[in-house]
Each structure stands twice: as structure tokens, then as C-alpha cells.
Structure 1
Amino acid sequence: MTTIRLVGPEEAPAVLTIVRAAFSTRPVLDPPAEALGETEESIAVALAHGGLLASYDDGRDVGALVLDPQRSTLWLRRVGVLPEVRDHGVATALVTEAMARAADFDDLAVLAREELPATSRFWREHGFVPVGGTSPYVELRRPAPRSYDAPDSASMRTLGSSLATSLRAGDVVVLSGELGAGKTTFAQGLGAGLGVRGDVTSPTFVISRVHPSLGDGPALVHVDAYRLGGVAELDDLDLDTSLDEAVTVVEWGEGIAEGLADDRVEVRIERALADEPRDDLDPRRVRIAPVGTRWLGAAALTP
């Protein structure tokens, strides 16, 4: 199991060890990677705003990342993992924790080398998109996720309705969460905010349902992917004919619906408390993560 902890300048030796090990095994670049010129002193300065260390259960530090806040952007620097544990999810765990700590920022950014396409591909898989850069660097950014408490069904619907005010025709919302988490309740809020016709209910047995707009706004296409076997079966629904004209929300869409659009909003609903519900309340934590160029510089939710 990988544990991530926030560290400061006192952990410069550990971070430097990982950075050197990670960057020294990469292909030789011209000019050389700046990370290879780091010293314990320079890393300590870089850690003035904090960094993340990943460790295994045996206490071994295996990954590191430096947090560099600049105005409304949280830059991720010196992201490295020990060569022997690459492809074990350590880098993903570091990036996931960094995104969780970006609540006060508009977006996150990182630089990748043009000569290392696999590195850029890793960042794109985590929702970052290329926005430019100066050769030999590619700059990639992604909007910062936001998390909200939803203590009851009414607040869950309100969150959905608030998100709807930022949506337009062609947008895709991917809803995930355990059975009974509140996905359909959230979708009901979306429908109310969009002003569509008909009750938004779970479409499990019909797979998808279209709710036309009662005004000038887009229709809502409500899809339940629970019984779908994968992306191919989602494609068989022929949703592309309505994607451009409607807002499409896909329940149980994680791992299936991301291919519908590069620009999308991923909504994950989780129990806010590990304990059993008390006083008839079953609070939820809702994480709203905009992905893609469409959402850079735009608020995905105005509660």
C-alpha cells in the first residue's frame, strides 16, 4: 500500500534521493534535465511551500513531488518515482493527492519534455492537456477538482442544479459512486437546473432516456451504464447523434464513458463518513473534476 504525506524542507535529502534516481535513468537529453542539477539545498528551498513523499508499508520512500504555487496555479515539479517501482501506481497516487490539495487554485500545471512522449501521455491520462510551452518543454494543465459536502438529498440536487448553470450543449458528465450513493439524485438536480421535461429517474432497464428542454436550453440525455459491458456497448447506443445538441450524463460511467468526449466533467460521490449514518443522515462527499480544454479558466460549479 502506498501512503502519501505532506513534507517540508526537512525532507530534502529523501526527496533529492528519489529525484536523482528517477531522472538519472531516463534517456539522455540535450539540454540535460534540470532536475539532475538539484542539490539538497536547492530542493530544501523548493520545498518551502511543501511537497509530497510516497512511501510503502515498510517505510521505504519511493516517490516524490514538489508543490509550487504561483498565483492561481499549483505547479507540480520534480515528479519522480524510484525506477524499481514504476508502473505500480505510485506516480498516480502522488498526482491524485496533489489534486486533492489544489482546492484553493484554479488549475494545476506541469512541464514535460518533448522528447519523452510517454511522460506527456501519463499527464494526459490524468486529465492534463497541452497548452503550449517553450521548446524543449511542453506545458500541460488541468482544472483543479472541487469537493463539496452533501448532507442530504436536497443538497445533492442543489449541487446538480448548480453544475447545470455551467453546462451547455455537447457537455458530458460522468457520474460514479457506489450503489445508492446519490447519482440519480444528482442527475435530477441537473435536469431541474437545465429545465428539461419529465422526471429524471434511473434509466437502468431502458439504458438511456432523453429529456427535451422546456425552454431554449439543451436536452438532457440520461444514460445508465451499469448493465453495459464496456465502451463498445456504449457506442452501440448511437449517442453520438445527440452529443452535440444535448447535455449527456452517464451514471456508472467511470472507465466507460470517458471516450465520449475529451472535455467532460467527472463527478464522484462517496460516503463522507466511514461510520454508520446517525440521526437519519447519510452524508456524501461530492468531487467534481472538470477535464479538458473546455474547462480551463472556467468554473465547473458555482454553489
Structure 2
Amino acid sequence: MTGNALNVIDAGPEHAGVIVDIIHRSFGARPKLEPPSKALDETVESVAEQLANAGGLLVERRGLPMGAMLFDESRPGQLGLRRVCVDPDIQARGVASAMLGVAEDTAEERGKDGIWLDVREELPDTVQFWSRRLYHPVGRDEPFIEFGKTLWLAREVPTPGEMHTLAARLATLLKPGDLLVLSGDLGAGKTTFTQGLGEALGVRGPITSPTFVIARTHPSLVDGPPLVHVDAYRLGDAAELDDIDLDATTDEAVTVVEWGEGMAEQLADSWLHIRIEVRGARPIDPLGTSHEGDLVDEAEPRVVTVKPHGPRWVGVPLRSTLLAP
């Protein structure tokens, strides 16, 4: 380790003494709160036990400890963060952000769907830190606000049939009011994905690209939500999308907007951004390609990336559902 580089270490019980010292220094430097933080009650023994059970992180620079956090695996599919702390003498040097990046990688490596933690509501700077990193408040137990985040995912989809299967898996997680924003090149498989979604939701078909009618509603045949399928390919901006008056249906339907990135997000406070890419594809000439939802080359595998946005998706098992064998 050289220079000013931060070294983030997977901590074990052998690091308990160093970590409890950082916890006491960090939490002890905070304003007096009522009730007082129980972090100051941590001992070498209690921290060692937590590290043995779930692990944690220790941040060093030039061999000096600078920050730490403990993990909590008490909730299925979720990684909890506890005692997130930075040495009070070296604040604002990226230590907390570095730890958080490694913590999110750790959650992914452990097969978790997301992360949760409790934040004291009397600490606005701390609340702002987590909000800026796209953690969303999902509960309150005074004096704590529970924040959560669902991790994004990407997986290879070799065939149109498996694209339908992936969409069907996602359909099991959807409910009325959900918004899906699809992006990708012409012919990448956006409409193919929507067809699989519609079949799984049990809506009236056929589902084809609604390019020329902009939006099409497919009512449910199984007493579920309708599917509103929108193609924003020919729309110039979000104002033109407003003219379609989708607000009247978004609360009751599952809404899928192809080519909607940068426009459709305004329709809800939560959405899934689904990007479909053709692995190794050459640029597609729009003038020579049909825009009817057909795959340009069905032999080329696709890579589907799913990124959740907003509080609706906190705690939802996206990764475990969509990445299962």
C-alpha cells in the first residue's frame, strides 16, 4: 500500500480491538443524543462476536485505521450494516464511500438482494449521505430511520425463449403501479422481453411494437393488472410523453416504456431500468432494420441489465429471482 490509497480489509475477530476503538472515537464525537447511542457500549468481546458471525470491514491508510463497519446477516437475502464509523479526525476523505462500495460488492458476492441499515434521524448529514447514494427510507422506529437499497444485476440471455423466461420471472414480482423503462438498440429484444412479460401476466395479446400508435393497453385475462405498452421511439421529449396521459393508468397497470430512458422516469417515484444489449453486435443501421420488435440476429446472446430506482424496490428479491439457475 503506497501514497494516500485506502486499504479496505475484510475484518475478522482479530481486528476487534482496533474496530471497537474506532467505534468509540467516532460515536463519542457525535452530538449528545437521546436516547444515547448503544455503540458506546460495544466491547472487544461483543465486536469480536459480531465479526465472527457476519464479518465486517476495516479501512486503513498507511497502516493507520480510519474507519470500520460491522455486517449483520439476520435478515434473509439482505446484508445489514451496523456501526458504520469513521475516525473523527479524518472526516470527508472518502473513507465512508470506499467502505460502502466494498460492502455492496460483499453483498453481491454473498448472494444478497440488497442492503439495510438504521440511521439516527437527528443526524441530517448522515441521512443526506445515504440518500445521495440512492438508499431510500423505508421505515421508522424513532429515533431511527431504516434505509435500504436493492442491488442491480446483469445476466446473459442466450435466446429469445430465455428472454421470455427472464421476463416471466420478473412478472412474479410485479404489481399494479410498477413502471419498467426499457432501453437498447433497435432489434435488441425489448419487445421480445415485453411479450414474455405479457404472457406471464396473462394479458390479452398479441403484443407487438406499438410504434405507430405510441401506446397500447392489454387488459388482463386472469383478474390481474393490465399491461400498458408504450413505444417512445418517435417522441421527442418528456413533454410529448405527457400528452399520452399515462398518468391516468399508471396506478392500476404495469407500464412498460420502450425507448423511455430520460423521459418515462417522471411517471413514478420508482421504476426499473432494463437495458438489453447484443453482445458483440455491430452498430445497426436504423434505415435497414425493421422496428417491429424482431431480433436482428437471434444467434447473438443478449445481456440484460436491471437497475432498480426508488423505494418500491427496496427489499424486493430481484437478484435471487432473476439470477437463479
Into which bin does the TM-score normalised by the smaller protein fall? 0.5 to 0.7
- Do 2:232 and 2:241's aligned partners in 1 also have CA atoms closer than 8 Å? no
Provide the residue aligned with 1:78 in structure 2.
83
In structure 2, the residue matched to 1:210 is 216
User: Aligned residue for 2:311?
Assistant: 292
| Of 255-264 and 291-300, the range deviating more from structure 2 | 291-300
Paired residues in the alignment total 291
Distance in 2 between the 1:3 and 1:175 partners?
A: 38
Is it true that 1:100 corresponds to 2:100 in the alignment? Answer: no
Q: 2:70 aligns with which of 57, 66, 72?
A: 66
Asked if structure 2 preserves the Cα contact closer than 8 Å seen for 1:111 and 1:138, the reply is: yes
DSSP-derived class of the 2:84 partner: strand
The answer to whether the 8 A contact 2:138-2:314 is kept is: no
Q: Which deviates more, 6-15 or 76-85?
A: 6-15
Which residue does 1:50 correspond to in 2?
55
- Selected match of 1:139 from 146, 154, 158: 146
For 1:209 and 1:23, the matched residues in 2 are separated by: 54
2:164 to 138, 157, 161: 157
Q: Distance in 1 between matches of 2:175 and 2:51?
A: 41
Q: 1:291 to 1:182 in 2, by over 3 A?
A: farther
Q: Is residue 184–residue 200 contact of structure 1 (8 Å, CA) maintained in 2?
A: yes
Find the residue that maps to 2:92 and give its secondary structure. Answer: helix
Give ranges in structure 1 of 5+ residues lacking alignment. Answer: 274-279
Aligned CA distance change for structure 1 residues 152 and 117 (closer, same or farther; 3 Å) = farther
| CA offsets 1:105-146 (integer angstroms, 9 cap, x no match) | 6x643211121244345545634333232x322334456767
Quick one: distance in 2 between partners of 1:27 and 1:3? 29
Contact persistence 2:274–2:304 (CA under 8 A): no
- Unpaired segments of 5 or more residues in structure 2? 281-298
Q: Residue 243 in 1 paired to residue 250 in 2? A: yes
State the secondary structure of the residue aligned to 1:119.
helix
CA distance 1:61–1:200, change in 2 (3 Å): farther
* Distance in 2 between residues matched to 1:37 and 1:64, nearest whole Å: 16
Q: Give the aligned residue type for 1:74.
A: L
In the alignment, what sits opposite 2:121? 114
Alignment partners' CA distance in 1, 2:41 and 2:183 = 43
Contact 2:215 2:231 in 1 (8 A): yes
Deviation at 1:68, TM superposition (A): 0.8
Amino acid at match of 2:216: V
| Letter matched to residue 132 of structure 1 | R
- 1:241 shift after superposition: 2.1
Q: Does 1:129 align with 2:132?
A: no
> Which deviations, in whole Å up to 9, do the C-alpha atoms of 1:185-213 show, x marking residues without a partner?
4333223323343444485x98x532423
Q: Does the CA contact (< 8 Å) of 1:174 and 1:258 recur in 2?
A: yes
Matched, 1:197 2:228: no
Q: Which secondary structure state, in structure 2, belongs to the residue aligned with residue 243 of structure 1?
A: coil
What amino acid maps onto 1:171 in structure 2? D
1:27 maps onto 2:31 in alignment: yes
Partner of 1:187: 194
Amino acid at match of 1:190: L
State the Cα RMSD in Å: 4.7
Does the 8 A contact of 2:58 with 2:69 survive in 1? Answer: yes
SS at match of 1:84: coil
| Kept after mapping to 1: 8 A contact 2:24/2:40 | yes
1:222 to 230, 239, 245: 230
> How many Å apart are 1:288 and its aligned residue?
6.4
Contact 2:59 2:66 in 1 (8 A): yes
1:21·1:83 contact (CA, 8 Å) conserved in 2? no
Q: Structure 1 residues 95, 239: CA separation in 2 closer, same or farther (over 3 Å shift)? A: farther
Q: Distance in 2 between matches of 1:25 and 1:86?
A: 19
Question: Residues 262-273 of structure 1 correspond to what in structure 2 (within 5 A)?
Answer: 262-267=269-274
* Structure with max Cα Rg: 2
1:173 aligns with 2:192: no
Q: Which residue of 2 aligns with 1:276?
A: none
CA contact (8 A) 1:129 1:292 kept: yes
